[in-house]
Chains A and B, each alone.
Chain A
Amino acid sequence: AQSVAQPEDQVNVAEGNPLTVKCTYSVSGNPYLFWYVQYPNRGLQFLLKYITGDNLVKGSYGFEAEFNKSQTSFHLKKPSALVSDSALYFCAVRDGDNAGNMLTFGGGTRLMVKP
């Protein structure tokens, strides 16, 4: 079975400061990892993914994430937060060795960026 843990229900950060949203995963095969963002009353939007290659992945809106295999983590980061980054963020994983495998989502982390 595969699973995702997002240990923080909410992350608060001041505008202009760096932000980190944490994610750890468990999967038996090769991990394919994803971050999605959800703004109020909207569907989820894809931010970035790690399939293979460089451990540092760059995505939309200045976000990046670092894949750490030994720590089974895929933390989302941004060097300088904006108020408009305030949203709900979801980490997701699937087993890349299983073509029929589906995505499993974490419980979500609410990011609050204060002016």
Chain B
Amino acid sequence: NAGVTQTPKFQVLKTGQSMTLQCAQDMNHEYMSWYRQDPGMGLRLIHYSVGAGITDQGEVPNGYNVSRSTTEDFPLRLLSAAPSQTSVYFCASSPGMSGGLGTQYFGPGTRLLVL
């Protein structure tokens, strides 16, 4: 049981490039989400999904797209990278349509640097 996995661990992009951050979980959790972590700002929700085929926007969705074709996978796409998207990105999952009373399991993170 690997839990929540994220790839890559670290990525450098040039402004305007696109890329996909991968997230997978093997716990059969319905709820998955993407956060970005910036110093002093805690974690801010980008997008989330309450089940396969269902996604919704969080607090800071601009510049990001998501899809949820399977229960296991929840990729995050940066359409045209900007320096403001330099951050650490965390994927999380939890059981249940209502987020399993909020207890989430986090991946190890992807550190992204946009030049």
Task: Establish whether residues B99 and A106, one from each chain, have CB atoms under 8 Å apart when the complex forms.
Answer: no
**Stretch binding the partner chain, chosen from A13-21, A43-51, A63-71, A78-86:** A43-51
B105 to chain A: which residues have CB within 8 Å? 46
B101 at the A interface (CB under 8 A): yes
- A43-B4, A43-B108, A102-B58 given; A90·B42 CB < 8 A: yes
B60 at the A interface (CB under 8 A): no
Number of interface residues of B (CB under 8 A): 26
CB-nearest residue of chain A relative to B108? A43
Interface size class of chain A, counting residues whose CB lies under 8 Å from the partner chain: 20 to 34
A51 to chain B: which residues have CB within 8 Å? 101
B109 to chain A: which residues have CB within 8 Å? 41-43
Task: Establish whether residues A43 and B43, one from each chain, have CB atoms under 8 Å apart when the complex forms.
Answer: no
| A-B CB pair tally, cutoff 8 Å | 62
Q: Which of B78-109 contact A (CB under 8 A)?
A: 90, 92, 97-99, 101-109
B76 at the A interface (CB under 8 A): no
Taking the closest CB of chain B, its distance from the CB of A51, in whole angstroms, is 6
A74 at the B interface (CB under 8 A): no
Task: Establish whether residues B90 and A44, one from each chain, have CB atoms under 8 Å apart when the complex forms.
Answer: yes
Task: Establish whether residues A49 and B99, one from each chain, have CB atoms under 8 Å apart when the complex forms.
Answer: no
B4 to chain A: which residues have CB within 8 Å? 43
* 9 additional contacts (CB under 8 A) given A43-B4, A45-B106, A49-B102: A34-B102, A41-B109, A44-B106, A51-B101, A94-B99, A94-B102, A102-B58, A103-B45, A104-B45
Hey, which bits of chain B sit against chain A, CB under 8 A?
4, 33, 35, 40-45, 48, 50, 58, 90, 92, 97-99, 101-109
When A and B form their complex, which 5 residue pairs have the shortest distance between CB atoms, in order from nearest? A43-B106, A105-B42, A99-B98, A105-B43, A44-B106
